[in-house]
Amino acid sequence: MMTFIKKYKEAIASALFLAAALIVEHGVSFVGQPYVYLPLYGLSYIVVGGPVWMKAFKSIKGGTIFSEFFLMGIATVGAFAIGEYAEGVAVMLFYMVGEYAQDGAVNRAKQSIKSLIDQQPDTATVERNGTTESVHPSEIEPGEIIQVKPGEKVPLDGELLTEKGSFNTAALTGESKPMSRESGEEVWAGSINQDRPVRIKVTSGYEDTKLSNILTMVQEASKRKAPTQRFMTRFASIYTPIVVWLAVALTFVPYFVVENYVFQDWFYRALIFLVVSCPCGLVISIPLGYFGGIGAASRNGILLKGSDFLDQLRKMKTLFMDKTGTMTEGSFEVRYIHPVNGYSQEELLRLAASLEQDSTHPIAKAILNRTNGQQLHPVENQQEISGKGLKGTINGKTVIVGNRDLLGQEGISISSTDVDDPYTYVHVAEDGIHVGTISIADQIKEDSKQAIEALRKHGVNEIVMLSGDNQEVVDHISRKLELDHAYGSLLPDEKYRHVEQALSPSKTVGFIGDGVNDAPVITLADIGIAMGGIGSDATVETADVVIQTDQPSKIPLAIEIANFTHRIVWQNIGFALGIKVLVMVLATFGMATMWEAIFADVGVALIAIGNAIRIQNKYSDKGFSLKAKKPSASQSEGQPNACCEI
């Protein structure tokens, strides 16, 4: 109770003085009555009107005379001048109530940001000199090792040293599904360790963690104005002086055109006109609507670097997209093992894995992962044939693992397989005989198909894939996703040219990618989108929108939030202007009082604020249950393929 009184003390004090003044003026009668209720009205006015007049003076000092504060100030002073004391106080009192409502709505919109700030732990347990000590995360340097117990928050980005771990990343990604990590994989600051004590090697300083970057992006986003906001700022700068001069005209022009002119009556109408004309509802509700959109998006793992990008997303008609890591998982897996000439699947896989065991190539890792740790053959005389594969001696026999060109170069014919899909094929030969083929493929993300369907429904009528992968693979993925066009075997500058040629003043073009080679194209596009979980720092830095969960389905969700925000903003504009114009007309003909004016100003603002809050409520929990897998940093599109072919 005391907290409530302290928070709203000005409004409470003003309301009590106003109530006392009304009781004295209308409830009792005694000699010298005005000398009692006039000071009470004055005190009530000063408590809430003083801050408004201070803002008006600051605005005038800054070069803006006709601000909403100045409008309310002269209107309320005028009300006192003609004896409408209660109405003059009410204008200021309800304006302050509106300010409280605005602050509450903004604070609500900031909850997603505050929840991120709260994820930053104050202490971290670091291993030093053979023991552990508790220090502030800012005192820990990259390369040091920290320990995190179950239930504790990870204080800094790092590489997991423990065999495996499970982490709740809801505050960063908007996803409730725990993120599993194995030794060597990245763990983010702000994640909550769920099941076992873990050791983490720190890779980023306190100011450079993903969590810190998210906070910076969202906080800076709230400062960037959307076109609608900029329009309303310009509109208010023209609109406000016009209504002031119209109020002056409403006071004095009737003297020349009406009979029985009474100055007080027309002055009262002008005061009503001034109160109604205050653009508070618009000034408050429009940026609040956009801020609500940004907050709702960030709560769902979508980071927008400015409210203007909400409008860009809404208008996007063409979307170019990267393949690997964006629409596919970016992690290669063995799909089929095709032994021939009497070999078993196990023998074929063991031969290939033995030659690949020292390779760091993603395809080699896929083969090694399939062996499930079985003992491999020792290899002698191993050599790499650049761009084609590997050759070595196992148990006195020459083994070759590579693409069709390498086996052709060795004069080895390849037996046909039953696979029609354009997978990556790794052929294996022993002593000049083809003994089998291993099919490897990158998986389409679980939600890629639904993302494309949802994008179509949201008006994105041209979806194009740009990839560094082979054209046949790109065409295969394109057919499965039902894209409009697909271009493969592209270098970064060729991707850039495709997007550059599509740019036009008549349409908004987007691009989504994750690799460092996508950064120039993301910068070029009207709306650049990055996959933030696996994306390179350069890509995330240059993007306008960052998808923290790496889920393609978040893109149509972002467009849906943008569309809903746009509707809310224009509902507020239409409602506020409509009510104001109506009451202005009524005031001109003497059919409105100051109370209608208060509703048209403060009441409309409160309703607009409530409408804007709908954005945050509607998208408070829209996270998808699908979770795209995270590839390792080395798995990037367009990487030279030393041992495979299509």
CATH class of 124-208: mainly beta
What is 329-444's CATH topology?
Calcium-transporting ATPase, cytoplasmic domain N (3.40.1110)
The per-residue pLDDT for 360 is: 65
Which ranges in the chain are annotated with CATH 3.40.1110.10? 329-444
Find the range with the poorest average confidence among 349-358, 485-494, 630-639: 630-639
Active-site residue list: 322
The per-residue pLDDT for 80 is: 86
Report the alpha-carbon distance of residue 636 to residue 633 in Å, rounded: 7
Percent of the chain beyond pLDDT 90? 26
Mean pLDDT over residues 237-241, rounded? 74
Give the pLDDT band of residue 281 (cuts 50, 70, 90). low
Mean pLDDT over residues 334-352, rounded? 89
DSSP assignment letter at 225 = P
In sequence order, the β-bridge partners of residue 415 are: none
Mean pLDDT over residues 271-290, rounded? 72
**pTM above threshold 0.75:** no
- pLDDT at residue 105 above 80? no
Give the pLDDT band of residue 640 (cuts 50, 70, 90). very low
Find the range with the poorest average confidence among 151-165, 530-544, 619-633: 619-633
Long-range contacts of 582-587 (CB under 8 A, 24+ apart): 583/272, 583/276, 584/273, 584/276, 584/277, 587/269, 587/272, 587/273, 587/276
- pLDDT at residue 324 above 90? no
Find the range with the poorest average confidence among 375-379, 602-606, 627-631: 627-631
- pLDDT at residue 464 above 90? yes
Which ranges in the chain are annotated with CATH 3.40.50.1000? 307-327+446-543
- Bigger pLDDT: 207 or 628? 207
The per-residue pLDDT for 44 is: 93
DSSP 256-306: HHSSS--HHHHHHHHHHHHHHH-THHHHHHHHHHHHHHHHHHHHTTEEES-
Host H or E run for residue 131 = strand 131-135
Find the range with the poorest average confidence among 259-268, 560-569, 623-632: 623-632
Give the pLDDT band of residue 482 (cuts 50, 70, 90). very high
The per-residue pLDDT for 448 is: 94
Dihedral of alpha carbons 210, 216, 218, 221, sign:
negative
Find the range with the poorest average confidence among 163-172, 305-314, 487-496: 163-172
Report CA-CA distances (Å) from 578 to 281, 285, 564. Answer: 12, 15, 21
Closest CA to 417 of 442, 437, 441: 437
- pLDDT at residue 420 above 60? no
Find the range with the poorest average confidence among 291-305, 309-323, 335-349, 527-541: 527-541
Strands 302-304 and 186-187, by their bridges, are unpaired
The per-residue pLDDT for 628 is: 35
Cβ neighbours around 605 below 10 Å, total? 27
pLDDT digits (tens, 9 = 90+) for 574-601: 888 888 889 888 888 888 887 888 788 7
The per-residue pLDDT for 624 is: 38
Report the alpha-carbon distance of residue 471 to residue 541 in Å, rounded: 29
DSSP E strands, 518-644: 527-531, 545-547
Mean pLDDT over residues 280-292, rounded? 70
The per-residue pLDDT for 220 is: 55
- pLDDT at residue 370 above 60? yes
Q: Which tokens go with 467?
A: 């990839």
DSSP assignment letter at 324 = B
265, burial (CB in 10 Å: exposed 0-12, middle 13-18, buried 19+): middle
The per-residue pLDDT for 623 is: 43
Most confident of 72-81, 302-311, 360-369, 430-439: 430-439
Superfamily of domain 307-327+446-543: HAD superfamily/HAD-like (3.40.50.1000)
